[in-house]
Structure 1
Amino acid sequence: MKKFHLYLMLLLCLSGVAFTSKTEFPVRLQQQLSLYYRYHAPLKIYVDFNQPKYSPGDTAFFKTYVLTPTGRLLTQGKYVINVMLVNAEQQGILRNKTFVQNGKGLSQLIFPADLPGGDYSLVAFIDGGESDKTSTPAYFQRSFVITGEKSLKDEKNTPLQFFAEGGALIEGLSNTVAVSGMNASDEAYVSADGNRIVSFRATDHGWGKFSFVPEAGKQYTVEYKGNRLPLEAPKKDGVVMTVSGNDAEGLTASLQVRENSTMRDAELYLVMNVHDQICFAAPVSFKRNTKMSVSLASKLCTYGTARLTLFTADGDVLAERFIFLEPSKPAIDVQFDKEQYSTREKVTVDIRLSSTENALHTGNASVTVYRNDFFKDTAPGTSFFNHVFFNSDLSLPQALSNIDYSSQEINDVLIAAKWNKMTWQQMLAITPGVPKTSNALFLKGHLTDEEGKPAKDSTLITFWLNQNDFIYGVYTRNNGAFYFPLFKNFSDDQALYGVTYRNTTIKNTKLTIEEPSFVMGNTAIKMKSTENDAYHAFMKVKVPILKSFSYYEKKRNEGSEQRVIENEDIAEDYIDTDFTVELGRFKEFASVAEILSEAVTMVKSKKVQGKDDIRVFIKGTSMFASGSPLLVIDGVLTDSIDYLMAMNPSMIRSIGVIHDKNTLVRYGILGKNGILVITTGAPEVHQEALRRKGSLNIKGIDSPLRFKTKQHQGDSDKRVPDLRSTLHWEPGISVYATKETPVEFYTADGTGTYTVKVSGITEDGVPFETYRYFKVVR
């Protein structure tokens, strides 16, 4: 910051400009940038998957990164990221909550077997804690393919779009225009009143560029594939700004105005910033000349996407464009222990980061290995590097994917870029807020009465999470809003709740949990091709084959399966009752009321306002409770006495009772009248029937699953086919410049070419990604 102020003062003094309130504009701009990045700028999110695409029934493993707003460092603290699969109607059809700590989190999406194939979108975002409604929330989006019978390919019929460098075409001056939407290496022509004046050719990635001098009164079109597309009409006044060179050899900004331009007497500033730091600022005057060249001191800037803007002294933008100041990218060295492998053979891969400019890098990386034949028709999603430096901050006619653009081409592409956060005028108007910390790990909801009237402030809502066996009380705030903490180990659950206000129970309330909201951006459209999808065809064969071997697998893994069953039993039996009555030793009862009256002590059935009800004797008070007890029927929480009393008594196997005052304290108002724990002979019958107004489903945090791999040691499993398409997923390895990191896995039964993808981020915030290949033969 001091370096910038000294540099700015030197420029102003050398130009003979005295400091006034207007000449202090760049300093004010720096102050506002600092405010924005401290209080309002969103974090950056990136989600890295273990395969390019998936089929119905698959499990998609992924790693989520959360970076600071500048993108240079992983965040510290804890966050909950919403990860959602969205269909063409922009409906969230599959939801995940991923816990992220210190910038990294692991989880998975499990796709239903009946999920229709198609081109979906995958969005990831942070909600909760984003109180500043003017700021863009932390957000990630990419195209996401679920396979069907036919493969999907990118739609090529994208419209041509034209972007004047600096922002606008100006009459009588040399203008440069970037063109998007062309096919690789295609040629196009610029015509004036129907006469061709300029030709240009697209790059391998479909971008074109041309320069021309528009004249007053003429109509300009671009001729491409037999179509004529109009260019915007040039303005009569303004500033043309173009940039040449590169950050390694030096960047130069060329500025032009017309002889009669109103800009000739204006006090202007040329400012360049990279995220929160202005690294170049200089006063500009056209009083003597209509053209000028300014050498940009890009060496004073840190790496990243720089924003070069020409301002008036009042902060109005006359011209703007983005430039990429490329970081020193570490190379990733991937070495295999053999040139090719046999099926079911051990593979050892050594991974190492190269050093750059005397820097010995370390980093955190993910490694995934998949069969290339099944995924070669599907390009990987946006690379970590391109998302952090471009897509997360900029609006472009098409998101930059995993292509490694040259320095010149990326700067030509950036002619079309616009900042997607807020305008400079909004930036100049922002005020300090609350510094951004970890987003609150909570769900937000509202409590109302049946007519929709908000609950009073400080109304107590007591929740009991069924599977997690957790009781928690929260108080409402303004307009009945409440915040329910989302603890790290909370999975999806059903919660029963009770409501009191100043120790008085409130009946007939309505509670809703806010669903996380998102706004979709544009993604590349994919269309069905005439070719069969190789991965989908493979999965259709794989599933029945593996089912046919399920009996053998079950016998071989009997021990581990038994452990799972035991754990499930323990999970259902988590409630300690004061005593339990097993009904198998009694004669058959005529009704539930008869069971309670004759077989269960400390409990009685009675009529209340003409209806059957239950009362539990509360130990420690020497009296029966004044209200109905809480019920837990086959592990489901409910307070529906009517449902219990109407049950077939022969279905009930046991009734447990919690009636000790000291035990009931932990259950708050939910347990103040005692608790009955009922088990039946047909628990599946009651699950859906017991969903009622006093309970709700809570979307918890999805705990990461372990990726299943195989180690082919010996001949014990030769009878079982190994049909894995993805051999390995290791999302948390450390990589170094000073030594190799070994990664080991076994090949499967499939032969062909396999891809090893290594992606991650260095300790100084530079994303990296590489692909290497090996072959498996018989």
Structure 2
Amino acid sequence: MNLKKLFAGVFVMAALAVAFAFITPEDDPIQKIVAQLEKWTTDHPQEKVYLQLDKPYYGVGDNIWLKAYITIGAEHRLSAISGALNIELINDQDSVKQWIKLPVTSGITWGDFALSDTLQEGTYRIRAYTNWMRNAGPEYFFEKSITIGNAATNNVFTKTSYKYSKVNNAQKVDAVINYADLDNLPYAGKEVSYAVKVNDKQILKSKGTTDAQGNLSISFLNTQQAPLTSGIIVTNIKVDDKKTINKNIILKTTSGQADVQFFPESGNLVNGVRSRVAFKAVGPNGLGVDIKGMITDNNNAEVAQLTTRHLGMGVFALTPEAGKTYKAQITYPDGSQNTVALPAAAEQGFVMTINNADTAKINLRVTGGAGTNAKDNYIVAQSGGVVCYVARNSGGQSTFSALIPKNKFPSGIAQFTLFTAAGQPLNERIAFIQRDADMLTVKVSASAATSAPRQKVKINLNAANSDGKPVVGVFSASVIDESKVQTDEAAETSILSHLLLTSDLKGFVEQPNYYFTKPNEKTNADLDVLMLTQGYRRFEWKSLLADQIPAPAFQAEKTLQISGTVKTLGGKPVPNSKVMLFTTAGGTFILDTVADAQGKFAFKNLLFKDSIRFVIQARTAKNSKNVEITLDNLPSRSVVKNVRPQDVEVGAEALNAYLKFSKKQYDEEAKYGLGNHTILLKEVTVTEKRKSALTNSSNLNGAGNADQVITADVFEKIGCATIDQCLQGRLVGVIFRGGVPYSTRSFNTPMQIILDGVYVESDFLLNISPFDVASVEVLRTIGNTAIYGSRGSGGVLLINTKRGGDYNYSAANIYSPGIITYTPKGFYAARQFYAPKYDDPKTNVAIADLRTTIHWVPNIITDSNGNASFEYFNAGTKGTYRVVVEGLNDEGHLGRQVFSYQVQ
């Protein structure tokens, strides 16, 4: 970092300040602070991930289309650190239901999730992170809640109303659940069994019957001492004699009492110093609650009014006096009241205030209490670890101030810290900086103001910097039918709200895009109150200055690699061991390497698709196979329990309206064999016992299409030591000589052994543990061996091993000394968004076009004039179509634009 340049800038600032002195680079405390920040940004560069999704909620059978932007540093430039991105779909039980790994080029990638028809409805999370981001921890991953409904196999829709009251000091909840079908016709006279869980404890289990309007009334007492913070009603409604449908109703939390916290500006109240005090009222559901009241002293004299201004947050001014204490008299929305004590004021100390209302400058002021020593205190302001401003108060006055130009900072969170002369942090305040120079102006227009169903539409966009100069940038665009997919733009997560705001703040931020949709004087003031109630989370000064931040434990993934350690059976490293990696998927692939003196090996710069099985073989330098292989960084799908409120609470009516269209689209696609749908059979009675499915079979003829099949239960019963012993005498027309199988059809040619799809040598059976075998398929006749060509001339023995669903199996499970198979997570091949082309005569126009996502374009690149365009055909329905374009250029300037047009 160029300290002279930085301090020269501070000298200019000192001319505008009171009692600020010029700082030389020789000042020891400031040198240490700047050096430690520079070391942190060098050793721990901060990657961020943002995902643009095509819409805010989904139905089973839908596709989630997504574009990822991975940025680095305070300027949000596209990252070149990582070459792979992990994206997970996590259900409300904190279980990973889908996981894809996408290749990343210059900080961008895109992909999709196909939501199976068998997926249960509920609230899910999408989580995205690079391997490098794991060093900072999961709280820094991109995470967004989405609702997934089920209209494909579930024709029951619910709406619930609640009433809360108190009975003998217990909380009474009266809930009315309405059950109706897709056409809003009530399910009347239907039997419903239900169970109520409050705060993870079941308190009621009963049955009831819906009335003529499809309503079921449920009443219960929450007798727990704790208020209702989480609750669910699990219901099963019997819609007919053969069908019962499960519906889980999430209970809304108590609307009365809320947790109220007070946040004096910069950290502390100081007697005799006027201070702004922010507060935040949060309900048990984690969302803001509007409150009102007043602040009184210990003599019950009113000193300030208390009222929220936005989402449970507000601010008031207070000058505490020595010998007095203060409390808040609070009234909640339901009329209940409470008293909360304010933090005690200190006799000495500082209050650092920031006025951020000016668009060009920050007005910073530090005021010390009576008798406070202010000499040689420092102000350091940083953004993303980059020091943007420093100054020192050398005059010793208890009050000093400065006007700081905002153009010294990038857009985003800036942290201002007051340090002592010894370099100890005293006060801290964060402020949000938004500079027009860091924003892109994105103009979006359609070829016509209005269009018709199934008509071709051309969308034009132009990207420019704030000065009007065109830019080359990367963008993505989603087009949805807002008549079917209702949106709340303030509650959305956008490229602006995530990269500039929430990715650097502690705690949950409600309606993050509210501050960016239509910025004005009120939203800016509300955003400043948010800064007073949240904290900067990227590092803590104490750990940073003590150089106690751990070294990175996870390396950035440039490409895929498979690495590990070769050890003796006693656990000691085997130096210079020979390691071979091979697979036959898509053709024979073989690599070999030599381990180092610690027995470590690595196959780097690999590129392979997902679900490819590899065999790894290790031998000592003298070709002994009595070794074990341990792989590095085997991925764990453990997920920290979700404690975040749902980002977007989708109303029942909006979701049901969407699912109504989703159901019609699903049925139409299923009728014509389109879409990614599972065939759901009606209930049938099976009278003939069928062969068990061989889920892990690699049989090219199809699972189970063999002359003979032996399953795992055979090995479990007989308890043999080696697989050839298990199979000897049990395979028709197969004999074993020296552990090598031969078919009686060709005594001189050994049978080809295929392990999990990998061709191995005939004596390989001796290396396989019988306990790891799921099934064995024997191919002897020409009808079954022909597909294997000359390799199958002597017959084929397919060994299918146990994996995930069979038992508690590790992907790196050792079959025998020196051999393991491994199915690493490879790159997912993203699908291409499909939309009908009505100018193609081959397009079947008889299919009803009920798309909700009309079009999805993940990779738009503007030319040197800032222009780009894309074309598509409208769906077959009228409505308001919403186009959302997001992206950035190579300087990290961000852009977002929402554009709507009518289809009539």
Instruction: Give the TM-score category using the shorter length.
Output: 0.7 to 0.9
Q: Work out the CA distance in 2 between the residues paired with 1:480 and 1:523.
A: 43
The match for 2:296 is 191
After superposition, the Cα gap between the structure-2 partners of 1:166 and 1:510, relative to the gap in structure 1 and judged at 3 Å, is: closer
Q: How does 1:550-565 map to 2 (within 5 A)?
A: 550=673
> Post-superposition shift, 1:551?
9.2
| Aligned-partner residue type, residue 316 of structure 1 | Q
Answer with 47-56 or 722-731: which moved more.
47-56
Determine if contact 2:576/2:594 at 8 Å carries over to the other structure.
yes
1:697 to 823, 827, 837: 823
Query: Does 2:524 match 1:410?
Result: no
CA deviations on 1:710-750 (whole Å, 9 max, x unpaired) are: 11126752212212111110111123694542221111122
Q: Work out the CA distance in 1 between the residues paired with 2:414 and 2:325.
A: 35
Q: How does 1:745-764 map to 2 (within 5 A)?
A: 745-764=872-891
The match for 1:7 is 9
After superposition, the Cα gap between the structure-2 partners of 1:724 and 1:397, relative to the gap in structure 1 and judged at 3 Å, is: closer
Query: Does 2:655 match 1:547?
Result: no
The match for 1:496 is 615
Q: Work out the CA distance in 2 between the residues paired with 1:220 and 1:387.
A: 35
SS class of match (1:543): helix
Consecutive unaligned residues in structure 1, runs of 5 or more: 555-570, 575-581, 584-589, 597-604, 617-623, 660-673
- Structure 1 length as normaliser, TM-score? 0.78
2:280 to 176, 180, 183: 180
Determine if contact 1:135/1:421 at 8 Å carries over to the other structure.
no
SS class of match (2:78): coil
Determine if contact 1:120/1:144 at 8 Å carries over to the other structure.
yes
Determine if contact 2:376/2:421 at 8 Å carries over to the other structure.
yes
The match for 1:312 is 420
Q: How does 1:141-290 map to 2 (within 5 A)?
A: 141-148=143-150, 149=157, 159-181=259-281, 187-193=292-298, 194-215=300-321, 216-225=323-332, 226-228=336-338, 229-246=340-357, 248-261=359-372, 263-264=373-374, 266-284=375-393, 287-288=396-397, 290=398
Aligned-pair identity (%): 18
CA RMSD in angstroms comes to 4.6
Query: Does 2:467 match 1:465?
Result: no
CA deviations on 1:118-151 (whole Å, 9 max, x unpaired) are: 2222211122697xx5788962122222225458
CA deviations on 1:671-700 (whole Å, 9 max, x unpaired) are: xxx9988399x9999999999844333221
> Post-superposition shift, 1:437?
9.1
The match for 1:665 is none
CA deviations on 1:460-498 (whole Å, 9 max, x unpaired) are: 443333534433346667987655547334222222332
The match for 1:620 is none
The match for 2:406 is 298
Determine if contact 1:41/1:135 at 8 Å carries over to the other structure.
no
After superposition, the Cα gap between the structure-2 partners of 1:419 and 1:86, relative to the gap in structure 1 and judged at 3 Å, is: same
The match for 2:497 is 386
The match for 2:897 is 770
Answer with 702-711 or 386-395: which moved more.
386-395
> Post-superposition shift, 1:164?
1.8
| Aligned-partner residue type, residue 634 of structure 2 | E
CA deviations on 1:161-198 (whole Å, 9 max, x unpaired) are: 33221122223321212233476876443333455432
Q: Work out the CA distance in 2 between the residues paired with 1:25 and 1:296.
A: 22
> Post-superposition shift, 1:97?
0.5
SS class of match (1:34): helix
> Post-superposition shift, 1:512?
7.8
> Post-superposition shift, 1:342?
1.8
Answer with 411-420 or 637-646: which moved more.
637-646
- Structure 2 length as normaliser, TM-score? 0.68
After superposition, the Cα gap between the structure-2 partners of 1:676 and 1:486, relative to the gap in structure 1 and judged at 3 Å, is: farther
Determine if contact 1:154/1:527 at 8 Å carries over to the other structure.
no
After superposition, the Cα gap between the structure-2 partners of 1:124 and 1:16, relative to the gap in structure 1 and judged at 3 Å, is: closer
CA deviations on 1:38-84 (whole Å, 9 max, x unpaired) are: 22132111111112122223221211111112243112365111111
Q: Work out the CA distance in 2 between the residues paired with 1:278 and 1:748.
A: 51
1:34 to 28, 34, 38: 38
After superposition, the Cα gap between the structure-2 partners of 1:142 and 1:18, relative to the gap in structure 1 and judged at 3 Å, is: closer
> Post-superposition shift, 1:766?
1.9
SS class of match (1:654): helix
Q: How does 1:85-104 map to 2 (within 5 A)?
A: 85-104=89-108
The match for 1:602 is none
Answer with 740-749 or 436-445: which moved more.
436-445
> Post-superposition shift, 1:757?
0.7
SS class of match (1:462): strand
Determine if contact 1:381/1:402 at 8 Å carries over to the other structure.
yes
Q: How does 1:8-27 map to 2 (within 5 A)?
A: 8=10, 23-27=27-31
CA deviations on 1:494-515 (whole Å, 9 max, x unpaired) are: 2233232222223776768611
After superposition, the Cα gap between the structure-2 partners of 1:371 and 1:529, relative to the gap in structure 1 and judged at 3 Å, is: closer
| Aligned-partner residue type, residue 401 of structure 1 | P
After superposition, the Cα gap between the structure-2 partners of 1:493 and 1:383, relative to the gap in structure 1 and judged at 3 Å, is: same
Determine if contact 1:754/1:774 at 8 Å carries over to the other structure.
yes
> Post-superposition shift, 1:654?
1.5
| Aligned-partner residue type, residue 330 of structure 2 | E
The match for 2:217 is none
How many residue pairs were aligned?
Answer: 708
The match for 1:607 is 737
Consecutive unaligned residues in structure 2, runs of 5 or more: 151-156, 160-249, 283-287, 678-697, 708-727
Answer with 141-150 or 503-512: which moved more.
503-512
Q: Work out the CA distance in 1 between the residues paired with 2:305 and 2:676.
A: 66
Q: Work out the CA distance in 2 between the residues paired with 1:160 and 1:463.
A: 59
Q: Work out the CA distance in 1 between the residues paired with 2:99 and 2:457.
A: 35
Answer with 690-699 or 12-21: which moved more.
12-21
Which structure has the higher relative contact order (CA within 8 Å, separation 6+)?
Answer: 1
After superposition, the Cα gap between the structure-2 partners of 1:726 and 1:527, relative to the gap in structure 1 and judged at 3 Å, is: closer
Q: Work out the CA distance in 2 between the residues paired with 1:21 and 1:687.
A: 60
Q: Work out the CA distance in 2 between the residues paired with 1:683 and 1:737.
A: 55
Determine if contact 1:365/1:734 at 8 Å carries over to the other structure.
yes
Q: How does 1:75-114 map to 2 (within 5 A)?
A: 75-76=79-80, 78-114=82-118
SS class of match (1:166): helix
The match for 1:68 is 72
Q: Work out the CA distance in 2 between the residues paired with 1:485 and 1:49.
A: 32
| Aligned-partner residue type, residue 772 of structure 1 | F
Q: Work out the CA distance in 2 between the residues paired with 1:299 and 1:689.
A: 60
Q: How does 1:325-364 map to 2 (within 5 A)?
A: 325-328=433-436, 329-364=439-474
SS class of match (1:533): helix
Q: Work out the CA distance in 1 between the residues paired with 2:614 and 2:273.
A: 68
The match for 1:524 is 645
2:855 to 717, 723, 728: 728
Determine if contact 1:634/1:678 at 8 Å carries over to the other structure.
no
The match for 1:428 is 545
